[in-house]
Structure 1
């Protein structure tokens, strides 16, 4: 079994190494590569897909919102291994699109990884973890509304990815950024709609 992820670059490397079938890579294969036993890497991966060029694939934002909701709810009830339905795990993307998304994220990943370090641990352990899970449920529940607002799904992806990254890097400062980003995004989306 692969060791736990420690940063974004390692996540991207694992995803890049996946061998697909018929020039397609399934969501199940991606989850297996990053680890299905830890909330942080899964949320980081989902957030990555929501802000990458893959977010333009029809149905991808809804698929990612479903994943966020299912994973976060299972985190709240205390499951130690995440279950996702087969129809979701079978969703796939072409290798070409996946490689394009990986290239697009490599440079920012390197810079972000340099800024990460364990700090403000209370925000990423125990009760802090549950607060993050509840925030992710709220974000996922709001995704249908976000379909109406251009680029708001990407804003949600930044928040989800930041929460996942905070858990992976044990960096509470990143969790604070994610809470702030979520609040500002909600206010802007509400102003746009109303």
Structure 2
């Protein structure tokens, strides 16, 4: 995957780009957030979807996990078909969140972002480049497709959000060790969802 020179390489950079998208008052659309993080930035979009899923006041809004899951599926589907930029249908790109809630979520995420950025960096790069990247994309799409069901299983969407954050950060930081952690989170979340639906 080719990187744009403006692509975020850390969670803190991504959060700053998201804050830039909320410069205007009122509602902040998915399209404006996507524009701020870069329309060629597949990794940051996955990371962003995970961040919003677990952020207080945003991820708890009914329907948000489903919209974010759709965003991830559409985004990574285009990565698999080797598109060089991300296209979204209007019904996704025009959805919006209140600016106040978005900024509060970004502020809440600053501290964990600083912590994670200290412990991430290029490691086991072969797991996040070439074939490894496409394997991660497929796993992320499976997580995203399960997100509508997670809305009825308490706290399971948070597990999906954590997995997407870890996958997204693995792509952004080119950290293969994080990719292994993300896969483990995915398996745990899948087990929780299945238990919740069948229990």
Partner of residue 118, structure 2: 114
Partner of residue 4, structure 1: 7
How far apart are the structure 2 equivalents of 1:127 and 1:2?
Answer: 23
Q: Secondary structure at the match of 1:55?
A: coil
Pairing partner for 1:37 from 40, 45, 65: 40
Structure 1 residue 18: Cα displacement? 2.3
| CA deviation profile, 1:19-75 (whole Å, cap 9, x unmatched) | 455511111111111111021111111111111121112221111011011011111
Partner of residue 64, structure 1: 68
Partner of residue 168, structure 2: 164
Structure 1: unaligned runs, 5 residues or longer: none
Count of residue pairs brought into register by the alignment? 194
Pairing partner for 2:184 from 173, 180, 183: 180
How far apart are the structure 2 equivalents of 1:137 and 1:111?
Answer: 27
Tell me which moved more, 151-160 or 173-182: 151-160
Structure 1 residue 17: Cα displacement? 2.1
Structure 2: unaligned runs, 5 residues or longer: none
How far apart are the structure 1 equivalents of 2:68 and 2:49?
Answer: 6
CA RMSD of aligned residues (A): 1.4
Answer whether contact 1:34 1:41 (CA < 8 A) is retained.
Answer: yes
